[in-house]
């Protein structure tokens, strides 16, 4: 699988200057993801492939024989979960995904217990740790850190694939993959994602899941995107520019009531106040951006409500039992989509196709 390594052929300074779309090909090998670092590296065919493999894994995993088959696929591999930023759901989702495909997993969660306190650079730490493993799954507070490590390891004699499990305020590509998978499944009998209207609500300025998903949605035809937030928490100009460049129809507004009846999916997010510098988001009244039970009748019958979780007050608990509440399904989808991604990275997805074909023939 180590045919060609484009990241070893470019200087870090030159790489950093590239636009996101230009960086994408550096993370791919032979048309498939080797690293998964930014949403912009994926094309539509790859998103469909990830969804297809995820569905097959989900169905194969319904029997003990199927579970054993899946667990054998990557049983010779080991993954390091390097999470230097709080996480339980994404951490466990990746951990469970490793278990599904039989990859052994070890974790580094608190870098204060590592040699970084002895003055070792984070780059050296990750390089040392990676020596024990075949894949790195990384969450990091610094945007671009995962890219730096991927570049660094690509220029050693032991590169390993790296999956970005959330970096800074900028990217959360695997969350976007599972969100796309959720949309694919929800609109399966409604013509797919093409032509749908999707609203993002909440802290769009600092929500990395929104930034990654908005970007992936540009790969679908005639999708209208709405960004519904208080002024100070509105979506970044860079994303607006990217959507405009892709000729995406978009609406930036602060009127939740008006938007709810128009959309096929509403993607709720929490206020990301861990990024506040002077508790500035406390001054913002976010209640108009909450999805309360009273708002359920406004929503189309087949529309869905999504949330990357964790939730605070932006979705009332009473909404959970509505069939359109899709956030718990989203969590399960994440596990399968991540397992699918791991198999695709290690080129073992073909075995899933063959097993599934036998199962259904």
Catalytic residue, candidates 23, 58, 172, 208: 172
Binding of residue 282 to ligand NCD (CB under 6 A): no
Catalytic residue, candidates 23, 35, 49, 139: 139
User: H-helix or E-strand containing 48?
Assistant: helix 44-60
CA distances from residue 300 to 34, 264, 268, 305, 318 in whole angstroms, order as listed: 39, 7, 16, 11, 18
Binding of residue 202 to ligand NCD (CB under 6 A): no
Residue 297 beta carbon to ligand NCD: minimum distance, rounded to whole angstroms: 27
Minimum CB distance to ligand NCD smaller for 187 or for 267: 267
- With CB under 6 A as the contact rule, which of the stretches 37-45, 146-154, 224-232, 269-277 interacts with ligand NCD? 269-277
- With CB under 6 A as the contact rule, which of the stretches 67-75, 102-110, 155-163, 264-272 interacts with ligand NCD? 264-272
Interatomic CA distance for residues 245 and 214, integer angstroms = 13
Binding of residue 211 to ligand NCD (CB under 6 A): no
Residues 18-77 that bind ligand NCD (CB under 6 A): none
Minimum CB distance to ligand NCD smaller for 287 or for 360: 287
Active site residue 247: no
Active site residue 139: yes
With beta carbons less than 8 A apart as the criterion, state whether 38 and 164 touch. Answer: yes
Active site residue 118: yes
Q: Are strands 265-268 and 249-253 parallel, antiparallel or unpaired?
A: unpaired
Minimum CB distance to ligand NCD smaller for 73 or for 304: 304
Residues 86-125 that bind ligand NCD (CB under 6 A): 89-90
- With CB under 6 A as the contact rule, which of the stretches 268-276, 279-287, 291-299, 351-359 interacts with ligand NCD? 268-276
Q: Are strands 28-29 and 249-253 parallel, antiparallel or unpaired?
A: unpaired
Q: Give the angle 214-337-273 at the CA atoms, nearest 5°.
A: 50
Q: Give the angle 120-121-123 at the CA atoms, nearest 5°.
A: 130
The string of DSSP letters for 114-145 reads SGGGGT--HHHHHHHHHTT-SEEEEEESSTTH
Within 246-326, residue ranges assigned H as helices are 256-259
Binding site for ligand NCD (CB under 6 A): 89-90, 166, 172, 175, 208-209, 269-270, 272, 308-309
């Amino acid at each position: 699988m180590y045919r060609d390594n484009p990241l070893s052929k470019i200087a870090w300074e030159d790489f950093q200057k590239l636009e996101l779309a230009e960086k994408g090909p550096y993370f791919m090998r032979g048309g498939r993801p080797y690293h998964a670092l930014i949403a912009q590296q994926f094309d539509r065919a790859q998103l469909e492939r990830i969804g297809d493999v995820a569905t097959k894994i989900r169905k194969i995993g319904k029997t003990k024989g199927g579970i054993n088959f899946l667990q054998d696929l990557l049983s010779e591999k080991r993954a390091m979960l390097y999470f230097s930023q709080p996480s339980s759901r994404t951490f466990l989702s990746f951990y469970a995904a490793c278990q599904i495909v039989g990859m052994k997993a070890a974790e580094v969660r608190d870098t204060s217990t590592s040699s970084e306190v002895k003055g070792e650079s984070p780059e050296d730490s990750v390089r040392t740790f990676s020596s024990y493993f075949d894949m790195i799954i990384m969450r990091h507070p610094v945007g671009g850190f995962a890219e730096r490590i991927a570049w660094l390891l690509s220029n050693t004699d032991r590169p390993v694939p790296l999956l970005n499990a959330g970096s800074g305020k900028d990217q959360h590509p695997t969350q976007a993959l599972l969100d796309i998978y959720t949309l694919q499944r929800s609109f399966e009998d409604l013509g797919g994602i093409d032509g749908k209207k999707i609203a993002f609500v909440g802290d769009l300025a600092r929500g990395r899941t929104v930034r990654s998903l908005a970007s992936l949605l540009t790969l679908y035809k005639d999708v209208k995107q709405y960004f519904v937030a208080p002024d100070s928490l509105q979506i970044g100009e860079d994303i607006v520019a990217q959507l405009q460049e892709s000729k995406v129809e978009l609406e930036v507004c602060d009127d939740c009531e008006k938007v709810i009846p128009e959309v096929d999916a509403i993607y709720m997010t929490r206020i990301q106040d861990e990024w506040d510098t002077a508790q500035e988001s406390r001054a913002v009244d976010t209640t108009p951006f909450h999805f309360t039970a009273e708002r359920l009748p406004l929503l189309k019958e087949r529309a869905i409500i999504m949330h990357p979780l964790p939730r605070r007050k932006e979705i009332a608990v009473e909404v959970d039992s509505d069939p359109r509440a899709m956030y718990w399904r989203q969590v399960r989808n994440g596990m399968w989509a991540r397992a699918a991604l791991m198999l695709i990275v290690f080129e073992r997805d073909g075995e899933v196709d063959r097993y599934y074909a036998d199962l259904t023939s």
